[in-house]
Amino acid sequence: MKAEPGLYPYWPYEGRPRITWPGGARIAVWVAPNIEFYELNPPPNAQRKAWPRPLPDVLGYATRDWGNRVGHGRMMRLLDSLGIRGSVSLSTAMLVHHPEVIEMAAQRQWEFFSHGLYNTQYTYGLSEEQERRLIEEAMAMIQQHTGQHCDGYLAPALSHSEHTIDLFAEAGGSYTCDLFHDDQPTPVTTRSGRRFVSIPYSLELNDTIVYVVNKVEPRRYETMIRDAFDRLHAEGETSGTVLCVPLHAYQASHPHRIDALARGLAYIAGHDGVWFATGREIAAHYLEHHFDRAVQHIADSAAAAARR
């Protein structure tokens, strides 16, 4: 085991080259609905139990299934009303289990990126070759069913190996959502040396972290979204920032919660200087306009620090 991931060097927030976004926006905002499938009887994993209760864990399973039967449509109608396209973090098994949901997202020109095959099948315990195959097959499924190249990755249930990001970069991906170390895109160091970037995913604003882990009240979630936006929008005057609102229909679409989300997103949409984008669009813009300068600046900063 390593003491640190080794995926990015230390690079202080202050003094970085300025990031600009299309249209002179200060902040890139992306909304990332997770569209997931959880299995009733998942294959056992030695390092992580899929369900807290004895199988069948009807309560845990049904909670997630509610999102697929009821929640996605409700969230799509909300995002439509604000003119926001989603970037779907996709359990690719959904392409086969529930293609109707995928069609609804595809009609809206939403982006699809990989979140593994099932959210109940983890990376833990896979050999490097097995993980490579899983990553490649998920990307191929997205290409086959949606015609989109899979550019981004969020590992299933945030389960990683030491090779996850290397393997995704080697498979032709261009961005990861698995790193929460920054509020701006940053270059990621992978063993292949490919041009590869981390796009901020704002995990602390992820509705599951908010509602399940931190047990936050819906109205406070609205406040958190607004406050995060206000700060990043202000800082974006100096250099462009990124805010992600990562969602799960089975959390945020509940009737007692969705209006709070609606108000939070409407607040953002009511501001100037906002670039509503998808993950792929943010990554592509950064790779084209800012990546090389960032890599150079990181190298120069490290050299300067070493000279002291």
Partner 1 sequence: MSMTTPRYGMDHERYAWSLMERRAPVRWPGGRPLALWINVSLEHFPLNPRGEGFKAPGSMSMPYPDLRHYTLRDHGNRVGVFRVLQVLEAAAMQFSVAVNAELALRYPALLQRVQRVQRGHSMGAELVGHGWNMDSVHHGGMDEATETELIQRCLAALAPYSDAPIRGWLSPARSQSALTPDLLQEAGLHWCADWVNDELPYLQQTRSGMLSNLPLPLELEDRFIIGELGHAESEYADQVIDAFDFLLREAQALDSGRLLSLSVHPWVIGQPHRIKHLQRIVNHIQAHSDRVFNATPSTLLAAAVSSP
Binding footprint of partner 1 on the chain (CB under 8 A)? 37, 39-41, 43, 52-56, 58-59, 61-63, 65-66, 68-70, 73-74, 93, 95-101, 117-118, 121, 126-127, 130, 133-134, 137, 215, 217-219, 254-260
Q: Which is nearer to partner 1, 11 or 66 (CB)?
A: 66
C-alpha 289/C-alpha 26 separation (Å) is: 15
Angle, in degrees to the nearest 10, between helices 258-269 and 218-235: 20
C-alpha 302/C-alpha 308 separation (Å) is: 10
Q: Which is nearer to partner 1, 27 or 79 (CB)?
A: 79
The encoded tokens of residue 124 equal 């833990």
Q: Which is nearer to partner 1, 74 or 195 (CB)?
A: 74
Q: Closest approach of Cβ 57 to partner 1, in Å? A: 8
C-alpha 78/C-alpha 236 separation (Å) is: 26
Q: Closest approach of Cβ 108 to partner 1, in Å? A: 14
Cβ proximity of 82 and 225 under 8 Å? no
Q: Closest approach of Cβ 166 to partner 1, in Å? A: 19
Residue 152, H or E segment: strand 152-153
Q: Closest approach of Cβ 176 to partner 1, in Å? A: 22
Q: Which is nearer to partner 1, 61 or 153 (CB)?
A: 61
Q: Closest approach of Cβ 74 to partner 1, in Å? A: 7
Q: Closest approach of Cβ 135 to partner 1, in Å? A: 12
What's the DSSP call for residue 123?
Answer: S
In the chain, DSSP finds a helix count (H) and a strand count (E) of 12, 9
Q: Which is nearer to partner 1, 70 or 106 (CB)?
A: 70
Cβ proximity of 188 and 200 under 8 Å? no
The encoded tokens of residue 220 equal 């406070």
Q: Which is nearer to partner 1, 37 or 112 (CB)?
A: 37
